[in-house]
């Protein structure tokens, strides 16, 4: 038996969805452990694109069980809509293959209202949230005001908690944020309706995962966002509201660290970022535009244009340390095809000092100048390569350079968006 954890090593959008979909074919369970519907995993199977926001990507595999752990914040309206869309595409969503943790916290309409009103009030200083209510929901979770999935099964408890929270949130909305308040009854009625539709899927995910472990089943743990959006270790405050690190599998699902056998770090062959925040290797020239256009770099959830830049191995070194990566998966290598020269950031120069880590201070990070190594590019279309030896020499050199600089072996290389456009170097489930 072997369990695999998938984490993003950059600012999200690394192509985790495709790799999860690929590995889900060999797993028995796929479990999401953090984040919310502010993430979008884009999958391309048989030429058809599917975007999953809450549902674990493995749901496209008919014989797999998929679970949403307690570390995820769930917008029930979005989840039910996603279930409906998937079923409309012929994908079976039944209680014997989809499980929703009773301990997961629910995103409420007032969370979204506060999220949007705060960003509007900040104006040009806004953080760049998706406005999905993720942050305010995690705030209520930490403040012990949260409403959990299990509360959907108790009408009296749900009514009391909504009323108490709404009193506070309406005061915040109307008296401080100059926004419209919300009414109790429409919220309560809609959540009671959704409760009945979600009831069959609600379960103790921690226990289900434990039972699967005892049976020797293979488990794939799926995270959202990326390491440098981590609330503790990312470029704070331009971060998400949860911990996308491998260690949060333990708290976000309810398993011990001894159940995490292989930590796979997903690395885009270049770097992208959505929204505000520092970006040392950002390219605002023709090369950046080339990467943006060829890589179709638009947020799967927001549709916002992604900022593009060269691969940053300084941030990678932090990701390796935070997650304890076992191997790397390089994605979107094909996007680099056509460039005469490729740069890789191997260090920062800051205030006369050479750094091999990202400073926690955003002011200091803003003063960091990337130190680049230049490598030759290649012109060939590599999407048909099914073996490393079929890649052009410069593409192989690029991959070898990353391995040597990081000290972490590669297990998967993606050379195109389709499931079959992948080079597998090692078997992760053993």
Please provide the size of the chain in residues: 430
- Yes or no: say if 110 and 183 are a contact pair by the CB < 8 Å rule: no
- Beta strands 410-414 and 327-331, pairing class: parallel
The burial of 118, by beta-carbon neighbours within 10 Å (0-12 exposed, 13-18 middle, 19 or more buried), is given as buried
Q: What would you report as the CA-atom Rg of the chain, rounded to the nearest whole angstrom?
A: 22
The burial of 51, by beta-carbon neighbours within 10 Å (0-12 exposed, 13-18 middle, 19 or more buried), is given as middle
- Yes or no: say if 261 and 324 are a contact pair by the CB < 8 Å rule: no
Active site residue 13: yes
What is the C-alpha to C-alpha distance for residues 166 and 145, in angstroms, rounded to an integer? Answer: 11
Output the CA–CA distances (angstroms, integers) from residue 321 to 233, 313, 331, 346, in the order listed.
Answer: 11, 12, 21, 16
What is the C-alpha to C-alpha distance for residues 155 and 168, in angstroms, rounded to an integer? Answer: 20
* Torsion sign, CA atoms 85, 30, 215, 71: negative
DSSP code at position 306 = P
What is the C-alpha to C-alpha distance for residues 107 and 132, in angstroms, rounded to an integer? Answer: 8
Q: At what angle do helices 109-122 and 155-171 cross, to 10 degrees?
A: 20
Please tell me which residue in 21, 28, 41, 140 is annotated as part of the active site.
Answer: 41
Output the CA–CA distances (angstroms, integers) from residue 41 to 58, 181, 282, 346, in the order listed.
Answer: 11, 33, 23, 29
What is the C-alpha to C-alpha distance for residues 345 and 92, in angstroms, rounded to an integer? Answer: 45
Backbone angles phi, psi at 93, to 5 degrees: -120, 100
The burial of 102, by beta-carbon neighbours within 10 Å (0-12 exposed, 13-18 middle, 19 or more buried), is given as middle
Active site residue 233: no
The burial of 189, by beta-carbon neighbours within 10 Å (0-12 exposed, 13-18 middle, 19 or more buried), is given as exposed
- Yes or no: say if 243 and 34 are a contact pair by the CB < 8 Å rule: yes
Conformation bin of residue 90: beta by default, left when phi > 0, alpha when psi is -120 to 50: left
Give me the active site residues, please: 13, 41
């Amino acid at each position: 038996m072997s369990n695999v954890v998938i984490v993003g090593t950059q600012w999200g959008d690394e192509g985790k969805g495709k790799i999860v979909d690929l590995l889900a074919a060999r797993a028995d369970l796929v479990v999401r452990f953090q984040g919310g519907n502010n993430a979008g995993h884009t999958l391309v199977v048989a030429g058809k694109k599917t975007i999953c926001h809450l549902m674990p990507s493995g749901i496209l595999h008919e014989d797999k069980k998929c679970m949403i752990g307690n570390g995820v914040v769930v917008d029930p309206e979005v989840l039910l809509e996603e279930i409906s869309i998937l079923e409309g595409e012929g994908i079976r969503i039944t209680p014997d293959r989809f499980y929703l943790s009773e301990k997961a916290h629910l995103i409420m309409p007032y969370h979204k209202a506060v999220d949007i009103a705060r960003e509007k009030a900040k104006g040009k200083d806004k953080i760049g949230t998706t406005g999905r209510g993720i942050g305010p929901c995690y705030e209520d979770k930490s403040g012990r005001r949260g409403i959990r999935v299990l509360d959907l099964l108790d009408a009296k408890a749900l009514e009391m908690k909504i009323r108490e929270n709404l009193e506070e949130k309406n005061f915040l909305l109307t008296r401080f944020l100059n926004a419209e308040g919300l009414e109790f009854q429409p919220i309560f009625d809609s959540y009671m309706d959704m409760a009945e539709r979600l009831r069959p899927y609600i379960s103790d995910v921690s226990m289900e995962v434990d039972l699967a472990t005892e049976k020797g089943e293979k488990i794939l743990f799926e995270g959202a966002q990326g390491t440098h959006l981590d609330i503790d270790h990312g470029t704070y405050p331009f971060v998400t509201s949860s911990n996308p690190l491998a260690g949060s599998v333990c708290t976000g699902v309810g398993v011990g660290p001894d159940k995490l056998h292989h930590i796979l770090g997903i690395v885009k062959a270049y770097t992208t970022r959505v929204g505000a925040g520092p970006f040392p290797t950002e390219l605002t020239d023709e090369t950046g535009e080339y990467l943006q256009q060829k890589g179709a770099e638009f947020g799967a959830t927001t549709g916002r244009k992604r900022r593009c830049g060269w691969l940053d191995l300084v941030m990678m070194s932090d990701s390796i340390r935070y997650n304890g990566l076992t191997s790397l998966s390089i994605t979107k290598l094909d996007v680099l095809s056509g460039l005469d020269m490729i740069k890789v950031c191997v260090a920062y120069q800051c205030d006369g000092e050479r750094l091999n880590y990202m400073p926690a201070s955003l002011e200091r990070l803003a003063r960091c100048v990337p130190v680049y190594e230049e490598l030759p590019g290649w012109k060939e279309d590599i999407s048909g390569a099914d073996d490393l030896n079929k890649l052009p020499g410069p593409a192989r050199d690029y991959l070898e350079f990353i391995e040597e600089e990081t000290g972490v072996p590669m297990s998967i290389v993606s050379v195109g968006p389709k499931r079959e456009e992948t080079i597998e170097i090692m078997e992760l489930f053993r």
